[in-house]
């Protein structure tokens, strides 16, 4: 199966090549030529399998240039029990009135691990398969979660290096400690004197600097990105939709063929798009519900057909969804319209004016599958409190946004099909907001005291990766100004 750009053109690559390259040369995102389909026996056959075997079965359908052995090797290294704290890897918790798919049992306690554990393995195998000899240097600008998950995924992976830039003073104490104590022989973490935008613009400038790229190539280094535009980061996420469905079948909560709805806390549209691929493959999914926070650009788009990023930006208690440009929406537009030229036009408009509008027919088609709403911080906190009172379950803030929107969806539409709320972070990762939602005063306590306080209320233990931070030593102390980032990259690349 070949992959080509959402904006058209002649480039047709194998999945290995697409994963190495990341973005297509005309700026579009790589999509599969056709979406493979599966039959009922395939889905039923997943029920007795481990998460890893489910992953092999689904990934094979897309990564046709990898051998089954190669895929199995990648999956085994990515999802080992040295990294995940539960045998089931991504367990589905079933309550009386719905289910929660927990995607945060990996090393950094956020759902990004599901993809960022596998991407480095797929990339390393791709380098071997294609005979690429350069060392790939991954550059990441992070506002918190992605940086740590990428560091954990790429640490000590041969032929790769990873460098993470974060805004000095701009991440939570836990997030900062997670990154600054990072171990591994191929990692670098550098603070930028500025905000997240300074860090991100700096990284983008470096990617766009052709002369610098040539200088690095001469030293045997190729730059690449770990963000969710890379197909190798999207494809692992398709697996857990199948896995959740198999869990519900196995628990006899549903019978084969029953449609299930998923409600997904959404930022960059990667997670929910993976659900759309699963549906196109034939998994019985009803509606995909897109839950946003106050940065509700996607809610507006899915209601009106106009995407408009020219709006105020709000900081919320769900920072991983504080996003105004959802890159993966471009893939949905391509699959829904089948018109690469039109997609290229919309994206050009977005870059130039910050907005574009799709036609009514296409909007209606999208709305047949997608439903959208958003929740503000207050509603989010109220939902955490309710989940605790009614289910003795503590969702993190992002999960609570989805939980709230899922309830609204059911109230407004009367759709009673099984609802799965996709849970994207451990509550311990956002302990301050979660505790305050539960009515615990948090003002003067340090982060570790908060972890202990939350542990008193929660049935789940503090995740290993967070608990062990207390003993870890800080290994990274570099700080640079935004205009020094290139110099720091050059030094690390040639090290």
Residue of 11, 85, 113, 145 that binds ligand PLP (CB under 6 A)? 145
Nearer to ligand PLP, 239 or 480 (CB): 239
- 161 noted as active-site residue: no
Binding mask 25-54 for ligand PLP (x = CB under 6 A): ------------------------------
Alpha-carbon distance of 45 to 40, in angstroms, equals 8
Q: Within 10 Å of residue 250's Cβ, how many Cβ atoms?
A: 15
CA-to-CA distance for 142 and 197, rounded, in angstroms? 9
Q: State the Cα–Cα distance between residues 487 and 212, nearest whole angstrom.
A: 10
Binding positions for ligand PLP, 147-206, rule CB under 6 A: none
**Distance, CA of 177 to CA of 240 (rounded, Å):** 29
Phi/psi of residue 110, nearest 5 degrees = -135, 160
CA torsion angle for 346, 349, 351, 357 (degrees, to 10)?
Answer: -60
Shortest Cβ 258–ligand PLP spacing (Å): 26
Q: Least distance from C-beta 347 to ligand PLP, angstroms?
A: 18
Residue number, 299 or 424, with CB nearest to ligand PLP = 424
Looking only at residues 241 through 300 of this chain, which bind ligand PLP when binding is defined by CB under 6 A?
265-271
Contacts of 357 (CB under 8 A, 6+ apart): 305, 306, 307
Measured CA to CA, the distance from residue 281 to residue 330 in angstroms comes to 19
16 or 336, CB closer to ligand PLP?
336
With a CB cutoff of 8 Å and minimum separation 6, the contacts of 41 are none
For ligand PLP, the closer CB: 16 or 347:
347
Q: What is the DSSP letter of 461?
A: P
Are 244 and 420 in contact by the 8 Å Cβ rule? The answer is yes
Q: How far apart are CA 51 and CA 88, in angstroms?
A: 6
Rule CB under 6 A: choose which of 7, 83, 105, 398 binds ligand PLP: 398
How many residues of this chain bind ligand PLP (CB under 6 A)? 17
Query: Closer to ligand PLP at the Cβ: 125 or 423?
Result: 423
Active-site residue identified among 2, 44, 112, 381:
112
- Give, as ranges, the residues between 297 and 326 that touch ligand PLP (CB under 6 A): 320-321
What's the CA gap between 266 and 277, in Å, rounded? 16
Minimal distance, residue 425 CB to ligand PLP, in Å: 4
CA distance 296 to 306: 12
Our finding on whether 232 is near ligand PLP (CB under 6 A) is: no
Q: Cα–Cα–Cα angle for 110, 113, 115, nearest 5°?
A: 130
Contact between 331 and ligand PLP (CB under 6 A)? no
Tell me whether residue 92 or residue 424 sits nearer to ligand PLP (CB atom): 424
**Minimum distance from residue 422 beta carbon to ligand PLP (Å):** 9
Of the pair 14, 431, the CB lying nearest ligand PLP is at: 431
Query: Nearest distance from residue 408's CB to ligand PLP, in Å?
Result: 18
Q: Binding of ligand PLP at residue 425 (CB under 6 A)?
A: yes
CB 243 within 8 A of CB 40: no
CA–CA distance, 381 with 186 (Å, rounded to integer): 40
Give Rg (Cα) of the chain. Answer: 21
Nearest distance from C-beta of residue 178 to ligand PLP, angstroms? 13
Smallest distance from ligand PLP to CB 319, Å: 9
The 86-125 site mask, x for binding ligand PLP (CB under 6 A), equals ------------------------xxx-------------
**Catalytic residue positions, numbered:** 112
Q: Give contact residues for ligand PLP (rule: CB under 6 A).
A: 110-112, 145, 228, 265-271, 320-321, 398, 424-425
């Amino acid at each position: 199966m070949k992959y080509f750009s959402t904006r058209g053109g002649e480039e047709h690559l194998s999945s290995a090549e697409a994963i190495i390259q990341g973005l297509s040369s005309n700026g579009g995102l790589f999509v599969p030529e056709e979406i493979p389909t599966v039959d009922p026996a395939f889905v039923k056959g997943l029920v007795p399998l481990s998460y890893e075997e489910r992953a092999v079965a689904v990934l094979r359908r897309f990564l046709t240039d990898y051998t089954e052995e190669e895929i199995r090797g990648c999956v085994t290294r990515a999802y080992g029990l040295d990294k995940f704290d539960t045998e089931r890897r991504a367990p589905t918790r079933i309550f009386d009135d719905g289910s929660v798919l927990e995607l945060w049992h990996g090393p950094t306690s956020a759902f990004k691990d599901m993809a960022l554990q596998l991407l480095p393995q797929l990339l390393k195998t791709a380098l071997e398969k294609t005979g690429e000899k350069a060392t790939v240097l991954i550059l990441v600008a992070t506002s918190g979660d992605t940086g740590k998950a990428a560091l954990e995924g790429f640490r000590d992976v041969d032929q790769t290096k990873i460098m993470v830039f974060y805004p000095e003073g701009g991440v939570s104490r836990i997030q900062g400690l997670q990154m600054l104590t990072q171990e591994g022989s191929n990692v670098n973490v550098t603070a930028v004197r500025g905000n997240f935008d300074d860090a991100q613009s700096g990284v983008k400038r470096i990617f766009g600097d052709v002369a610098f790229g040539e200088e690095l190539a001469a030293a045997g280094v190729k730059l690449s990105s770990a963000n969710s535009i890379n197909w190798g980061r999207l494809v692992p996420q398709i697996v857990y939709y199948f896995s959740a469905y198999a869990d519900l079948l196995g628990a006899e909560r549903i019978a084969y063929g029953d449609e299930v709805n998923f409600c997904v806390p959404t930022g960059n549209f990667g997670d929910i798009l993976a659900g759309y691929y699963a549906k196109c493959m034939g998994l019985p999914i009803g509606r995909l519900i897109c839950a946003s926070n106050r940065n509700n650009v996607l809610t507006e788009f899915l209601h009106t057909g106009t995407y408009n990023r020219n709006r105020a930006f709000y900081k919320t208690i769900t920072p991983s969804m504080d996003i105004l440009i959802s890159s993966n929406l471009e893939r949905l537009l391509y699959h829904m319209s089948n018109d690469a030229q039109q997609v290229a036009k919309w994206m050009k408009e977005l870059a130039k004016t910050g907005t574009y509008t799709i036609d009514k027919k296409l909007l209606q088609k999208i709305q047949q599958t997608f439903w959208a709403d958003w929740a503000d911080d207050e509603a989010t906190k109220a939902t955490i409190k309710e989940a605790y009172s009614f289910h003795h379950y503590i969702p993190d803030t992002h999960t609570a946004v989805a939980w709230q929107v899922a309830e609204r969806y059911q109230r407004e539409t009367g759709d009673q099909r099984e609802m799965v709320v996709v849970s994207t972070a451990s509550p311990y990762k956002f302990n301050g907001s979660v505790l305050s939602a539960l009515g615990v005063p948090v003002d003067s306590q340090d982060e570790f005291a908060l972890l202990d306080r939350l542990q008193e209320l929660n049935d789940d233990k503090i995740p290993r990766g967070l608990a062990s931070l207390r003993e870890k030593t800080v290994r990274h102390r570099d700080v640079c100004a935004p205009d020094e980032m290139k110099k720091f990259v050059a030094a690390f690349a040639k090290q």
